Structure 1
């Protein structure tokens, strides 16, 4: 769990979580989602960067640890992308539809757009984790 490979994968996926989240949701997603947000002022103008960084580290650690168990020693881009898709379906689409059914965050179109962003985000995260594991898992 605290292997060198997992710690490197944690840092890489946490960095992607931080920068990829900013890219996909901040730059690309925000203009697409603004007309689908049901509550004005829902998002902070400036996030708490310390808490955001801690959240990305925890998310990167959980993602990398679960990926390593799921992959069972077979680390390639395809496995990483598949893992990312499954996680995106769970969190982005499944969780998004539950949120849509129970809250007033996004309309249905916004929920689907957000789920697509999650799919792209987690596919890239899975690929990054698989690349780290394929490169470093034999050197422990």
Structure 2
């Protein structure tokens, strides 16, 4: 579980999780998603809790990298990583976003679908990075 490759993959994907998440949601999609908020009050927070955000990115990256490690142990490629990331993005992004839309007032349907697609992009890049690391560091 704590191999050199997994550790490096965890660190790199955690950095992507933090910085890429900021880029995708905090910069590129911020105004769009704010225009598609539901009626829930106080969403999103004015200032994130940076320490918890970083810890969450690290935990997520560790789980992502650890599961990917068992994805196809005979070979690791960036393409395999992207396929894995897309599946995780569909699971977390589209699946969870539609469930959230059905049960909460956080985003309208357009916002939920676009947010789900952003998750697919986010996790496909994370998968690409994990595949790259697992391919190069043996």
TM class by shorter chain equals over 0.9
Query: What is residue 92 of structure 1 aligned with on the other side?
Result: 93
Per-residue deviation, 1:45:
1.2
Q: What CA deviation, in whole Å up to 9, does each residue of 1:37-83 have, x standing for no partner? A: 11343111111111111111100000000011113231111101100
Gaps of 5+ in 1: none
After TM superposition, the runs of 4+ consecutive aligned structure 1 residues lying more than 6 A away are: none
Quick check: 1:108 aligned with 2:118?
Answer: no
Any residues of structure 2 matched to 1:62-73 within 5 Å, and which? 62-73=63-74
Q: What CA deviation, in whole Å up to 9, does each residue of 1:74-131 have, x standing for no partner? A: 1111101100010001000000100011111111100111011001100000000000
Measured in 2, the distance between the counterparts of 1:34 and 1:71 equals 39
Measured in 2, the distance between the counterparts of 1:91 and 1:72 equals 24
TM-score, normalised by the number of residues in structure 2:
0.96
Query: What is residue 26 of structure 1 aligned with on the other side?
Result: 26
Q: How many residues are paired up?
A: 137
Measured in 2, the distance between the counterparts of 1:123 and 1:73 equals 21
Gaps of 5+ in 2: none
TM-score, normalised by the number of residues in structure 1:
0.95
Query: What is residue 119 of structure 1 aligned with on the other side?
Result: 120
Measured in 1, the distance between the counterparts of 2:72 and 2:81 equals 8
